[in-house]
Amino acid sequence: MSRRPIPASLRWLAFLVALCIAVAAGTGAMMYVETQDQRRIQAEMVSRGDWQRGRSSIKRYGCGSCHVIPGIDGAVGKVGPDLTHVGQRAAIAGSQPNTPKTLALWLMHPQALRPGSGMPEQGITPQQARDISAYLYAQK
């Protein structure tokens, strides 16, 4: 039983299919990175904060011990609300409008906005609040 050689046209077709798959994967990866960059830029513009510093502040304050926060290792807390897609919500803290100013105020003084809330006062500075807001809004 002899094996017939694979026709050159079939090898060429396989090469073209593989090339198309590689180009599509590369293009998809580039589009994903571009979209992430755009989200971060927009989040920084509306919050007047820096998303990278916000990520560091989230880790420093241990926000992930109470909240699920995308992109933060170990942020799997179940005490507070899941902060995935927080930028797409209409309200924060149950009834406050979700604006960059309100989110920053909530992060700095949650008890002033909602007395008795489980969210503790942590001494977050205005700049840290803007930075954390930028990070959270960038996670749409």
Report the pLDDT averaged over residues 88-107.
Answer: 90
Does pLDDT of 83 surpass 80? yes
- Does 21 map to a domain? yes
Does residue 97 form part of some domain?
A: yes
Residue 3 inside a domain? The answer is no
Give the pair of three-digit tokens for residue 97.
Answer: 């409008």
Q: What is the pLDDT of residue 1?
A: 63
Question: Measured between alpha carbons, how far is 103 from 110 in angstroms, rounded to an integer?
Answer: 9
Q: E strands along the chain, which residues?
A: 91-92, 96-97
Confidence of residue 39 (pLDDT cuts 50, 70, 90): confident
Q: Which neighbouring-strand residues pair with 96? A: 92
In a domain, 55, yes or no: yes
Quick check: 140 and 87 in contact, CB under 8 A? yes
Q: How many domains does the chain have?
A: 1
Could you tell me the two tokens for 125?
A: 């500075």
Residue 40 lies in a domain: yes
> Has residue 2 been placed in a domain?
no
CATH number at residue 107: 1.10.760.10
Domain of residue 82, residue span: 8-138
Integer Cα distance of 30 and 53 in angstroms: 24
What is the residue-averaged pLDDT of the chain? 88
Question: For residue 77, is pLDDT > 70?
Answer: yes
Give the pLDDT band (50/70/90) at residue 101.
very high
Residue 1 domain-assigned?
Answer: no
105 is a domain residue? yes
User: Which of 75, 134, 123, 74 has the alpha carbon at shortest distance from 100?
Assistant: 134
Number of Cβ atoms within 10 Å of the Cβ of 66: 17
The token duo for 50 is: 């820096």
